Amino acid sequence: MLGNIGPMQLLIIFLIVLLIFGTKKLRNVGGDLGSAIRDFRKGMSNNEDEHHDDKDDSSEKSTSSESDDDSGKSKS
């Protein structure tokens, strides 16, 4: 059913939506949607940065704890 929608049908749908909601309302919805997508991407990139930082911190801690263990042990 939806596979046969062409550019003319999309234009008609857009015009109907424009008549129902008006340009001001559509502009507000578009701006809200754009800021939501921007915030989502920002959150995802911050999450990836934190994930990489956690990996780096855990590998540094394991290396430093191994060197502390070696220096603290007395050899017999």
Give the separation between CA 66 and CA 76, rounded to whole angstroms.
19
The encoded tokens of residue 20 equal: 């129902």
Q: Is residue 5's pLDDT more than 80?
A: yes
Summarised one tens digit per residue, pLDDT across range 6-36 is 999 999 999 999 999 898 998 999 999 999 9
DSSP state of 65: H
Q: Is residue 65's pLDDT more than 70?
A: no
**What pLDDT score was predicted for residue 66?**
53
Give first-to-last CA distance, the chain, whole Å. 81
Q: How many helices (H) and strands (E) does the chain have?
A: 2, 0
DSSP state of 25: H
Q: What mean pLDDT do residues 57-65 have?
A: 58
**What pLDDT score was predicted for residue 16?**
94
- Whether 26 and 18 have beta carbons less than 8 Å apart is answered as yes
